[in-house]
Amino acid sequence: MESLNLLDYSFIVGYLLLTLVIGLWFSKRASENVGEFFLSGRQLPWWIAGTGMVATTFAADTPLAVAGFVAKNGIAGNWVWWTFVSGGMLTVFFFARLWRRAEILTDLEFIELRYSGPAARFLRGFKAIYFGLFINAVIIGWVNLAMYKIIRIMVPELDPVLTIVALVLLTTFYSGLSGLWGVSITDAVQFVIAMAGCIILAVLAVQSPVVVSAGGLTKALPAWMFDFFPTFTSSGKSITGAIALPFISFAAMAFVQWWSSWYPGSEPGGGGYIAQRMMSAKNEKHSLLATLWFTVAHYCLRPWPWIIVGLVSLVMFPDLPMNQKEDGFVYVMKAVLPPGLKGLLIAAFLAAYMSTLSTHLNWGTSYLINDFYKRFLKIGASDKHYVTVSKITTFLTAAFALYITFFVLDTITGAWEFIIQCGAGTGFVLILRWFWWRLNAWSEITSMVAPFIAFTWLQLFTTVTFPFSIFIIVAFTITATLIVTFLTPPTETAQLELFYRTTRVGGRFWKKISKNLPDVESDSGFVMLFVDWALGIIMIYAILFGTGKFIFGDMLQGSLYLGAGVIAGSLIFADLNRRGWNNLN
């Protein structure tokens, strides 16, 4: 196979130098205090905050995963993640403004704003270590392994292990140096590079001699692969031999999973680095717009280049084993890119990889410092001390993630299903803790423990498997959570009043508290917010499918879909303007 030439390496080195320059540029500002280091001083405009969310979820493994979905189940295989649209829109209209309004540094700080007592302190400290270090290291490990695969195939002359270590060190250096300002600006640059690279790859892929000689994608592949909606069967096999999506799988994802299960980047009610970007926005309006832009870009703009390359890989490499189908994306890169563009595409994947890595390092460190070290170990130290410890912790987190990558992660199978199942039911609390005063810290603790109990029982004593297990785990978790909620005392009234006064959340389930605070002007109009939520879901799917129809030459259906998306979007903005959203602060 042809090695990279000087032009290829020029693109790669140029990109790496650019990220380093940005990190150095923002290093002084990030060193001022932890607010600057972790939240950019709460001054990010919506387009930078939202693009940062998109760039973080655009990891090196994402295009490969989508190519794998397409290879196994056609375009409809993407419903595995398309069903999360409902949760994304819930965050846009119900939670984005609340997160910004809370004026907290991390979403774990929310715990002691909302709850009281020793249980709240334990919950905050435990989640800081569990998510900030362990779960975060596993996520970084997945991303590292995906980049490892790309380097091994595209640049065989490089040692992939040493290359990953070098990339992690570079990313840790600039993210530890520049804080969220540097991470956010590099994210914006990295997203543009990554998307441009994937679009170029898709165009060249469909014009490759193999695809052209076959008469194009629609003639080279069976028609079922171009269906946007799954064929529902009980066995998972359609009449034509296509691998269809069993209805039970679709039902679990479409009706239960999006609101009930914790998953990084798609947390019910927002959370993790998504909440971090919402809280870093200039004001409530920018927080809402950032999350809306993220949802549109995440579902409507990013997937189609990946889907096209995934389809091309089936034409060019039909004999790849099923468990290696996602590798077809990288093999297409290797086959169709001329000298120079190979370096550009590798730089694009480096951008996708490093944007995810830098955000996870900054976000995980924010938990470890703000919610554990600063809260329990070193209370009342100077801002300079906390920023210094934050930089050291960033490097230590990266080192631990490298250990997980090369010594632990390759022994884990079915990790995605495991995380979904062991977080099933927690979303019930993550959403309702904003809107129902009676939930307490023990409720949230129970919602974290109960899924593990149910999952373990199913594994040991039944033959129930994913995704049907989701229904059982969620039912058990919600039942256990409600029982514990009513058996334990509520959060102290003074704490509930502080939370209500700070967030002005409103709603019927806060009447017991709000009646004592007549001076607080809380949110209202929840019926129209649900209308906006439904319109938002319609808008996303309409734009997503309309774009796909245009790509495959169906101009009439494409126009109808996009027209529906425009109408839904116009109705949303008309309602927001009626509410005076331009006056949000």
Residue range 104-126: average pLDDT? 93
> What distance lies between CA 461 and its chain's CA centroid?
33
pLDDT, one tens digit per residue, over 236-295 is: 444 444 445 567 777 777 788 788 877 766 788 887 888 888 888 888 888 999 999 999
User: Shortest CA distance to 78 belongs to which of 311, 314, 346?
Assistant: 311
pLDDT, one tens digit per residue, over 121-149 is: 999 999 999 989 988 888 888 788 888 88
Tokens 């017991």 belong to which residue? Answer: 512
**Token pair for 566:** 């425009």
Tokens 């435990």 belong to which residue? Answer: 126
pTM: 0.87
**Token pair for 395:** 């490097």
User: How many percent of the chain have pLDDT more than 90?
Assistant: 35
Residue range 550-560: average pLDDT? 93
Residue range 57-82: average pLDDT? 83
Residue range 518-546: average pLDDT? 92
pLDDT-derived band at 411, boundaries 50, 70, 90: very low
Using an 8 Å Cβ cutoff, are 104 and 279 in contact? yes
- Number of neighbouring beta carbons within 10 Å of residue 382: 9
pLDDT, one tens digit per residue, over 9-48 is: 888 888 888 877 876 776 666 555 566 666 667 778 888 8
User: Shortest CA distance to 107 belongs to which of 130, 89, 85, 124?
Assistant: 124
3-class SS of residue 516: coil
**pLDDT for residue 406 is more than 90:** no
3-class SS of residue 554: coil
Average pLDDT, the chain: 85
pLDDT, one tens digit per residue, over 440-472 is: 999 999 999 999 999 999 988 888 877 788 889
What is the pLDDT, as a whole number, of residue 373?
93
